[in-house]
Amino acid sequence: MEDKVLINLRNRTLVLDIKDFGKGDIQVEELLQVDYANILGDIITFPVIFNRITNIKAEMDNYLREEAFDLKAFEAQLYEEHKKRLVGAGEKATEAAVDMAIKRDPNYKVKQFAFMKLQRQADVLDGLYWSAKMKGKMLESISTKIKPEDFEKEILVDTINSVKITAQKNHFEQKR
């Protein structure tokens, strides 16, 4: 799946063409493990994967903020409705009485539980983000110990971690 995100700067607009993981399932544990059998592929592709995770996290964070705002607006609407109802019934419309009426409102409960479910999803995604960041640091550490000559005979054209890698054949020999 691809998405275009507009970034408005002061005097220009950037259009970022963002790809995510597509419609397939993401095997999180497999994605977060360092592939020692194909360490070069992992080192080369993981920044792209991490960027995809970061973009999904940014999207989720924004969605969560929108839903939090919507929930607060809904609470404000319910506050007014329940306050009017209590006053109309001749009861005292204290903060506590209105608050209790809101919490007992079945529509509020539905919205609140939906928001909690969304918050849990955001927390899971946040965990994925931090785990991926940790893997990135591990790969960065490993990459400082690797020399290009160690991979001269490796094939550098493949799809790894759902990222297509292309390189010229005999790339290292051409540089010598």
Domain coverage including residue 109: 2-175
pLDDT for position 175: 47
pLDDT for position 162: 64
pLDDT tens sequence across 61-85 = 999 999 999 999 999 999 999 999 9
Residues 155, 159, 162, CA angle at the centre, nearest 5°? 155
pLDDT tens sequence across 142-160 = 888 877 666 655 545 566 6
pLDDT tens sequence across 106-147 = 999 999 999 999 999 999 999 999 999 999 999 999 888 877
Give the total number of structural domains in the chain.
Answer: 1
